[in-house]
Amino acid sequence: MRHLLFAVVLCSFCGPAFSQTTPADEALLTKTRALYDAPFSRNLVSFDCAVQFDWRKHFVEFVGTVPPAAEHTVERLQTIQHRVFVDRSGSVVSAKPKPSDLTGVEHAVELEQTFKAMIPAGLSMWLPFSINEILPIGSTKFNFQKIDPGYKIVMNGPGVAASLLLSNDLRLTSIVSQMPQAMRATTEFASGPDGFLLTSITTAPTTDSAQAGVAAFTYTYQTIQGFQLPSLITITQPTRELWQYTLTDCKVMTGVTIDVRSPHTPTN
């Protein structure tokens, strides 16, 4: 089993650029931004959840069975309970008992470390959407171009070269970035009570669609204190290995959200 090969930080698009942005672009960006459900741009401060994962199911899905030699490993791994704390800066995973308790159990420490990496990997893809930072923010310059169908948003500048495609109803459908890193992504959204919710994103560390290395992330949601938060997260690695975990027993913290973006950037 391998670690996820890459983690794309989508909000790396947020940076200075030199193309001109018109008032019409600003108005359309304001309209677009308001369509997305971004709980961290409202008054969500953080949430903390238990992480449920079925090791036996994971083995069966990946290798077809649980080998007899792995039975003890699966049993010991299943005793470890994880929680994840999430705020707009990222996520932190904790486990009880500690992984050191797995000393001497074949491959258990490696598997535990891999799974602990999968938890923030799945959330890191969702977080930029939950903050509403996929669309241009701060001092970023951008242009909307009408295409058939939908729109293209182009961002160019020192260290930044990227474009976003949106459908006619302004749902983001794809991302291509040359700088600061080459990557591509396709996205799907569902309509939720507070706006568009990310349901899937596929990513690859290249702009060439003919190249392999695609990873996929899918999300279903639960309502916690009026917020739509991830419930089931599924990660499919480029190796086709599947990791699927559920967030339960979530505790939410709310408060006043301070907008640190440039005063020239439209807000919701």
Which among 117, 115, 126 has a CA at the least distance from the CA of 88? 126
List the structure tokens of 151: 């729109």
Task: Kindly report the length of the chain.
Answer: 268
Look-up: residue for tokens 């990997």? 121
Cα gap 220→229, rounded to integer Å: 8
Q: Which amino acid is at 2?
A: R
Alpha-carbon torsion, ordered 146, 17, 125, 239, to 10 deg: 90
Average model confidence (pLDDT) across the chain: 85
Give residue 1's pLDDT: 37
Give residue 212's pLDDT: 65
Q: In what order do the strands lie in the sheet with 242-254?
A: 90-96, 81-87, 44-52, 242-254, 227-236, 215-224, 195-204, 183-192, 172-179, 160-166, 151-157, 143-146
Q: Give the angle 188-197-238 at the CA atoms, nearest 5°.
A: 45
Task: Indicate the domain borders of the chain.
Answer: 11-248
Q: Quick one: which H or E segment has residue 113?
A: helix 108-131
Name every residue whose Cβ is closer than 8 Å to that of residue 169 and which is 6 or more positions away in sequence: 35
What are the tens digits of pLDDT across the range 206-227?
A: 877 767 678 999 999 999 999 9
Give residue 2's pLDDT: 33
Give residue 262's pLDDT: 41
pTM here is: 0.85
Look-up: residue for tokens 């030199």? 18
Which residue numbers in the chain have pLDDT < 50?
1-18, 260-268
Cα gap 128→210, rounded to integer Å: 26
Longest distance between any two alpha carbons in the chain, whole Å: 66
